[in-house]
Amino acid sequence: MPGLFDRLDKEIKGNQKDGGISPLDIAKLPPSLRKIMKLMLRELSMSYPRMCEVMDAMPEKDRLTRTELDSALSSLSEQFWLIRIGEKEKAIYKVNLRRKAGSTLMAGIWSSLDNKLKDKTPKSS
């Protein structure tokens, strides 16, 4: 019988998609979504009550209403920009950053140098 930990682990793995975001994608977001993502990038993980608290502390012109906040969080979760764990007031949101592709540059440099060194070593007769 699976326990609570197993269920949460399955939910987290199910929510994590290969997509995610890169910081350059944020510029393409509508203002309300961009505002939330900038906030989330500072903290990387935030509970819904904390999100509401931070939103209430913002200047009035920058604030989102609860309806706008809920809609934005739902939209960002559906697009896999955020990973939501839990529901409603107990939800925790985490940023879903893209994995960086590994660089092949270093391997190419070292193999190139190695080949050049092999070419210059004196051959014994």
Containing structural domain, residue 61: 12-99
Structure tokens at 61: 């012109």
Q: Residues with Cβ < 8 Å from 2, sequence gap 6 or more?
A: 10
| Residue 37 contacts residue 29 (beta carbons within 8 Å) | yes
pLDDT tens-digit readout, 15-33: 444 455 666 778 888 888 9
Domain count across the chain: 1
Indicate which CATH number applies to the domain containing 59. 1.10.10
Asked whether residue 117 is assigned to any structural domain, the reply reads no
> In terms of C-beta density within 10 A (0-12 exposed, 13-18 middle, 19 or more buried), how is residue 7 classed?
exposed
Asked whether residue 123 is assigned to any structural domain, the reply reads no
Closest C-alpha among 97, 79, 92 to residue 51: 92
DSSP 8-class letter at 95: E
pLDDT tens-digit readout, 62-91: 899 999 999 999 999 888 888 999 988 899
Q: Which residue has the higher pLDDT, 44 or 91?
A: 91
Asked whether residue 66 is assigned to any structural domain, the reply reads yes
DSSP 8-class letter at 30: -
Asked whether residue 112 is assigned to any structural domain, the reply reads no
Asked whether residue 113 is assigned to any structural domain, the reply reads no
Asked whether residue 124 is assigned to any structural domain, the reply reads no
Asked whether residue 121 is assigned to any structural domain, the reply reads no
pTM for the predicted model, two decimal places: 0.61
Compute the chain's Rg from CA coordinates: 23
CA 111 to CA 70: how far, in whole Å?
53
Asked whether residue 3 is assigned to any structural domain, the reply reads no
Closest C-alpha among 104, 102, 81 to residue 93: 81
Structure tokens at 47: 């509970």
